[in-house]
Amino acid sequence: MFFGKAGREGGVANERLKRLMEELGAAMNESLSESEQIAEVIAKIRAEGYDVFLVLNATIAIRKLEEEPVRQAVRTNDGVECRFNAQDIKFLKSMHISGH
């Protein structure tokens, strides 16, 4: 597992974050290994005479949450208010979603 800048604090690895990331990896592995749907498909492939090697790579990006001022607030038709900070707006624009 790789820990980039987000996993470091003051040049020293943030051990708590490192443990949490390892816990996340273990939870993901456990979810896959306990999935009945995945087991059924693997069994079907083996029944066809093939062996299965499942190798998955995951990129997990993290960033420290910081209080950001609300840049835009939108009220939906059913009265729900959605608040967006600059990062939210940038992400939505990258997905070609307009908040207007």
Q: What is the pLDDT of residues 33-55, one digit of tens each?
A: 899 999 999 999 999 999 998 88
The average pLDDT across 25-31 equals 90
Higher-scoring residue by pLDDT: 99, 61: 61
pLDDT above 70 covers a percentage of the chain that reads 79
Q: Are residues 59 and 82 in the same domain?
A: no
The answer to whether residues 56 and 7 belong to one domain is yes
Question: What range defines the domain where residue 87 resides?
Answer: 66-100
pLDDT at 27 over 70: yes
Q: Which residues pair with 72 in a beta bridge?
A: 84
Higher pLDDT, 23 or 65: 23
Range 2-18 average pLDDT: 58
Do residue 11 and residue 45 come from a single domain?
A: yes
Cα maximum dimension of the chain: 58
Residue 10 pLDDT exceeds 80: no
pTM above 0.75, yes or no: no
Q: How many domains does the chain have?
A: 2
Which residue has better confidence, 65 or 43?
43
Say whether both 23 and 41 belong to one domain.
yes
Q: Please tell me whether residues 77 and 41 are part of one structural domain.
A: no
State both tokens at 15: 């051990």
Nearest 10 degrees: Cα torsion 90, 79, 76, 91: 20
- Cα 29 → chain centroid: 14
User: Do 93 and 44 have their domain in common?
Assistant: no
Residue 32: its H or E element:
helix 15-33
The reply to whether 10 and 58 lie within a common domain is yes
